[in-house]
């Protein structure tokens, strides 16, 4: 096992990894920018090194500086967390070249799955269903013919993209060239690569992902699914495990194909295969995230598997102690991403000093946080400052526990997404599970309220119905046929 691990990240995920290392008896090293001198991860690590000014391009994205700190501190392994350099094959390769273990997939894994076009071709060869689309990056003069072959509506997608950047929906041929130019410009700005391809637009899908673990000895398992359909501009805001839209037969099929896909690229470490699930129960490969996911705690909570510790074990060359038959999920877990944004004002970023902090506690409540009272929230980085995870024996209990925990959560000095999550937890459609990836944009409206409340009997009844396995068909039916906001039809909050 390693002796000292450098965590090449910041915020709540850096703290999460540092804790896992401490539980393994490993010494830890943090890196930080000038904006993060007083950050929680800096205080938590055994050693901490300044690596540059606040902009991430001059600090957290500097491979040379991070490798230099690893060598100077004597770190024999690096965990990248997620974001920043987590899926950068050059960073993973630099670690290998310097004899430093990379706690994550191999550079070859990243190259195989990091480019969406290559990933699609790999999945097709492995027998995994993919969304109909173009098989390669397209020239401008090829796009119109491909769109006609696939059939409108289509998505123009950046090959190197993510988070909705470099993506445009095209419903009419007249929009094609304008949308193509906009997608290429955005992709070049965000990723330095304007390569695009086309995919058929799946209307009103659910976003389902499968967590896998694989070691270097050929052992691959899956840890079930996560529901990630509550999204704003292709950014996930709420996740849960399991999904009300997935029954045992579908879960087994998706899991087996995910394991098959991982084997096809000789995958090592934790990884996630993302799928779109249509109204008929058909699923299609979307992409593979070759890293730890933000939403990994909901899977940990229902399976009892510490994914970060498993990543460390795998990176050390050991066999996983787990087999597929060992994975027996129990209960239900929901995660809310707490961000420093104002949901009443179109989610505008909100920086400043944390003047008050009261985190919820109690049975089934877990908080992953990168802040403390007096901490200065910077606008240089991603606005996520914490994650709130609640578990229950049933979805009803998890949902009601989340409502209680959100009502206890107090963060003063800045605006946060807590009011948004409170409103979602009291949305009839969310409680019934009749939502899809378009829910927030089409059937939800944010309304200001200090303390959203709803009759608990109604919440319990709705959540219990959504929890029952025989409701899957009803969920899909309601999702496809719903018009207008269920929240609006309910008359808003009851005080």
CA 15, CA 386: separation in Å to the nearest integer? 11
Mean per-residue pLDDT over the chain, rounded: 90
Cα–Cα distance list, 336 to 9, 138, 237, 387, 448 (Å): 21, 38, 6, 6, 18
HSE-CB for 200 with a 13 A CA cutoff: 15
pLDDT at 191: 83
On whether the CB atoms of residues 343 and 397 are closer than 8 A, the answer is no
Catalytic residues: 291
CATH class of the region 4-103? alpha beta
Asked whether 386 and 367 are in contact (CB, 8 A), the reply is yes
Positive/negative CA dihedral, 343, 344, 347, 351: negative
Domain ranges of the chain: 4-103, 132-200, 206-489
Structure tokens at 334: 């929901």
pLDDT confidence of residue 204: 92
When pLDDT is averaged across residues 418-446 and rounded to a whole number, the result is 93
- The region that residue 375 occupies, defined by phi over 0 for left and psi between -120 and 50 for alpha, beta otherwise, is beta
pLDDT higher than 90, residue 484: no
Q: Report the pLDDT averaged over residues 51-61.
A: 97
CA distance 493 to 190: 40
132-200, superfamily in CATH?
ATP-grasp fold, A domain (3.30.1490.20)
* Strand partners of residue 332: 392
pLDDT reported for residue 463: 55
In the structure, what pLDDT confidence band is assigned to residue 305 with cuts at 50, 70 and 90?
Answer: very high
Least confident of 7-16, 55-64, 317-326, 478-487: 478-487
> pLDDT band at residue 458, thresholds of 50, 70 and 90?
low
CATH topology of domain 206-489: D-amino Acid Aminotransferase; Chain A, domain 1 (3.30.470)
Work out the widest C-alpha separation in the chain, in whole angstroms: 61
Find the helix packing angle between 395-408 and 418-425, rounded to 10°: 150
Contact 49, 41 (CB under 8 A): no
The pLDDT tens digits for 12-23 are 999 999 999 999
CB atoms within 10 A of CB 481: 10
Residues 378-395, mean pLDDT to the nearest whole number: 97
């Amino acid at each position: 096992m390693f002796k000292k691990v450098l965590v090449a990240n910041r915020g709540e995920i850096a703290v999460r990894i540092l804790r896992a290392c401490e539980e393994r008896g490993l010494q830890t090293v943090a890196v930080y920018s000038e904006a993060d001198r007083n950050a929680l991860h800096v205080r938590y690590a055994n050693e901490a090194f300044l690596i540059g000014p606040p902009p991430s391009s001059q600090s957290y994205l500097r491979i040379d500086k991070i490798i230099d700190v690893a060598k100077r501190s004597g770190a024999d392994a690096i965990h990248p967390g997620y974001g920043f350099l987590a899926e950068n094959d050059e960073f993973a390769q630099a670690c290998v070249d310097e004899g430093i273990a990379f706690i994550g997939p191999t550079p070859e894994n990243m190259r195989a799955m990091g480019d969406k076009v290559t990933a699609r071709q790999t999945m097709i060869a492995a027998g995994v269903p993919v969304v109909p689309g173009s098989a390669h990056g397209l020239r401008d003069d090829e796009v119109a013919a491909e769109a006609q072959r696939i059939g409108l509506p289509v998505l123009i997608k950046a090959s190197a993209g993510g988070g909705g950047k470099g993506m445009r929906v095209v419903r009419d041929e007249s929009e094609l060239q304008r949308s193509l130019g906009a997608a290429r410009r955005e992709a070049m700005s965000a990723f330095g690569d304007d390569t695009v391809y086309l995919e058929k637009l799946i209307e009103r899908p659910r976003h389902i992902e499968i967590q896998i673990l694989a070691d270097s000895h050929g052992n691959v398992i899956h840890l079930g699914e996560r529901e990630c359909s509550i999204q704003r501009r292709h950014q996930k805001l709420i996740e849960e495990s399991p999904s009300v839209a997935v029954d045992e037969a579908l879960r087994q099929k998706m899991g087996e194909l995910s394991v098959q896909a991982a084997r096809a690229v000789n995958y090592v470490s934790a990884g996630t295969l993302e799928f779109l699930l249509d109204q008929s129960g058909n699923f299609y490969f979307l992409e593979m995230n070759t890293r730890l996911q933000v939403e990994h705690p909901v899977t940990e909570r229902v399976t009892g598997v510490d994914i970060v510790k498993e990543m460390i074990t795998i990176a050390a060359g050991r066999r996983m102690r787990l087999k597929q038959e060992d994975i027996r999920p129990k209960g239900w877990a929901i995660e809310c991403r707490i961000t420093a944004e104002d949901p009443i004002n179109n989610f505008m970023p909100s920086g400043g000093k944390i003047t008050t902090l009261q985190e919820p506690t109690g049975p089934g409540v877990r908080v992953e946080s990168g802040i403390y009272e007096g901490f200065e929230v910077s606008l240089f980085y991603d606005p996520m400052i914490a994650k709130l995870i609640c578990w229950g024996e049933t979805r009803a209990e998890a949902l009601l526990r989340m409502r209680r925990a959100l009502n206890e959560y107090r963060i003063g000095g800045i605006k946060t997404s807590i009011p948004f999550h409170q409103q979602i937890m009291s949305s009839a459609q969310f409680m019934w599970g009749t939502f899809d990836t378009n829910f927030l944009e089409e059937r939800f409206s944010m309304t200001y309220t200090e303390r959203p409340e709803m009759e608990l009997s109604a919440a319990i009844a709705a959540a219990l119905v959504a929890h029952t396995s025989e409701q899957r068909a009803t969920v899909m039916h309601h999702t496809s046929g719903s018009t207008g906001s269920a929240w609006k039809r309910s008359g808003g909050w009851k005080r």
